[in-house]
Structure 1
Amino acid sequence: MAASPTHIQLPSSCTLLPSSSFISSLPLPPLSITTASAILTSTRLSSLRVRFSRRSIVRYNDNFEEDEEEDENEEDWSFEEAVSLFNKRDYYKSHDALEALWIRAEEPARTLFHGILQCAVGFHHLFNNNHKGAMMELGEGVCKLRKMNFEDGPFQEFERDVSAVLEFVYQTQLELAGCSEDMCLTMDQSDRSYQLLGGYAAGESIYTLETVVDFNNGMSETCVILFSPSSSSSEPTRVKLPTLEATNKHLLAFTGDESL
């Protein structure tokens, strides 16, 4: 029987759950984004070009010329293009655009770009059934966004909404992580119980998207994340999918540069 849910706390210092807790069972991407410069190595194997990068997402592309052109234009991304890709749920390309901005940015914009970038990686993992990777990246992203100390505006709303998703994923994992067909382990916040987080239904599609239409508000549409494991007969739970409603004008407070 799972213990009653507890809320994940991310204080200003952003002391997250023990890092070892999230690293055990589900394989993460080869290298996580940790440095200011991307190291790219290209290897030609028959018709397959494998592109290795110090990023959280690694691209595999068999069209050599197309990928070369993309490499050349890699640093031409604008902030609004990155935001548009994020809101279209193209988290892969949004990651590339945000990384290009992050590499050449100075503080405090550097931390802001990095935080949004890690959120993009987190959602990419979430919808590709890497629940553990999603929690790690969303947690790191929220930490960096909280360092910005937003008081209001679109960045503060984005931070709030991503925090809500992180809490949602944490709670849905906590609720079911300790149970199998044969037994249930009490989730007592021990190292052992934390190691199970993210491992529940690993590789299975338990987080999906749904569009909700509000007939009382001009037929407005909201996209939500639905938690609906196949083993559950209860009503699915849901949380709003974050979008970022920021423009270059909102970014000026952190960069002073209208060209981004």
Structure 2
Amino acid sequence: MNSESSLPAAFWQGVAEFNQGEYYACHDTLEELWMEATEPNKTFYQGILQLSVSLYHLHNENLRGAAILLGESIKRLQNYEPNYEGVEVDRLLEESAEMLSFLQHTDPETIFQHPENWQLPRIATQ
């Protein structure tokens, strides 16, 4: 949790879940925040939610769903660069763009053969 951030503790719980690879739990945690939020937090939450769901899809071998939501997440989070409320958005976007490129340029047959080699985005804080 970032002491200089005005985001609620539930957001930071979702960040911890995301970084532990608990993407479905992150979605559940952040969805309620997103539904009740106003701008500018609403779109920020939505971008993080979409990123989380994209990685959930990836782990369930839904390549198309993963790529679509990863792209949508990147679009939403670009307006929050370089940092937002203690989150290093520029770093998150760089890692997400690298993952999207990997998904788009790697033979789908080989993507799921070695998931231990995936360079998954992480939410870094200041």
TM-score by length of 2: 0.81
Identity over aligned pairs, percent? 32
Q: CA deviation at 1:208?
A: 3.9
- The question of whether the paired residues in 2 share the 8 Å contact of 1:128 and 1:205 is answered with no
The one of 245, 250, 257 equivalent to 2:124 is 245
Structure 2: distance between partners of 1:118 and 1:88: 17
CA RMSD of aligned residues (A): 2.2
- Runs of 4 or more consecutive aligned structure 1 residues displaced over 4 Å after TM superposition: none
What one-letter code is carried by the residue in structure 1 that aligns with 2:124?
E
Query: Residue 165 of structure 1 corresponds to which residue in structure 2?
Result: 99
What's the offset of the Cα at 1:156? 1.5
- After TM superposition, the structure 1 = structure 2 runs for residues 11-30 of structure 1, keeping only pairs within 5 Å, are none
User: Unpaired segments of 5 or more residues in structure 1?
Assistant: 1-75, 177-199, 211-223, 226-239, 251-260
User: Is residue 113 from structure 1 mapped to residue 35 from structure 2 by the alignment?
Assistant: no
Report the CA distance between 1:209 and its aligned residue: 3.4
* TM-score normalized by the length of structure 1: 0.41
Flag the structure with higher strand content.
1
Alignment coverage as a number of residue pairs:
116
Q: Who is 2:70 aligned against?
A: 138
2-structure distance, mates of 1:112, 1:208: 31
Which protein shows a greater Rg?
1
Which letter maps to 1:127? Answer: H
Q: When you count helix as a share of all residues, which structure comes out higher?
A: 2
Deviation at residue 207 of structure 1 after TM alignment = 5.5
